[in-house]
Amino acid sequence: MNENQFQEALQAQGISLTETQLQQFRTYYDVLVEWNEKMNLTGITNREDVYLKHFFDSISAAFYTDFASEPLSICDVGAGAGFPSIPLKIVYPHLQITIVDSLKKRITFLNHLADQLNLSDVAFYHDRAESFGKNTKFRESFDFVLARAVARTSVLSELCLPLVRTGGTFMMMKGADINEELEQGGMAIKALGGELVETSKFQLPIEQSDRHIVLVNKKRKTPNKYPRKPGTPNKDPIES
């Protein structure tokens, strides 16, 4: 996906980019590739692949929810090199973005990236999601929590739903074949105060690979025992 195809595909979804935003994506790519030589941020470094599989794929979250109309507070769990929340921030500058990641060098990269992109209202925290979700400053405080291909549903729900305010939304961005995973994760979603609302399927342009956007509403407060101590959700997931 070259830059023109990127613009056209977004315009088809009602998203028009300014020259300033296009330049921010160019800078994002340059900084990503430069830092990737020093640390493992992504296995995808070809420009057209980054625009398709990282930038466009990240922005696809906006095809299934309204980020444009209000200044939502968003937490991105395990964002790695900033996906999906930094591309969304470029498109919707009014969003308030918080990223939590367990690797300090990735946080160092994100701070540098935010400076290069001249972003405001962004905050980066070096922490395990389990610990972050216990922190009373952040617990049940976000309008929206995002996770992109970080872990299976049962694990992600325990890492993310404790951060969502009651009435807020948890979004999982997934690849193909999620039916069995969602079925196994149903108990976790319910136990953590969530309710599965919608699963949308689409294909990434050009390569036509399957993607799923899963939306979960936070209906009730998460019980205080969740999230459990770091590592436990992955070792002993809540599953039916």
Report, as an integer, the average pLDDT of 114-135: 97
Residues comprising the binding site? Answer: 78, 83, 129-130, 148
Q: Is the CATH number 3.40.50.150 carried by domain 3-235? A: yes
Number of Cβ within a 10 Å radius of residue 235: 8
- For residue 81, give the amino acid letter: A
Residues comprising the binding site for S-adenosyl-L-methionine? Answer: 78, 83, 129-130, 148
* Paired tokens of 198: 């919608």
* Paired tokens of 168: 């807020």
pLDDT grade for 180, boundaries at 50, 70 and 90: confident
| Residue 31, pLDDT score | 98
CA distance 128 to 39: 20
| Residue 18, pLDDT score | 98
Residue with tokens 């969304």: 88
pTM: 0.95
Share of the chain above pLDDT 70, in %: 99
Q: Calculate the average pLDDT of the chain.
A: 94
pLDDT grade for 240, boundaries at 50, 70 and 90: low
Q: Is the pLDDT of residue 175 over 90?
A: no
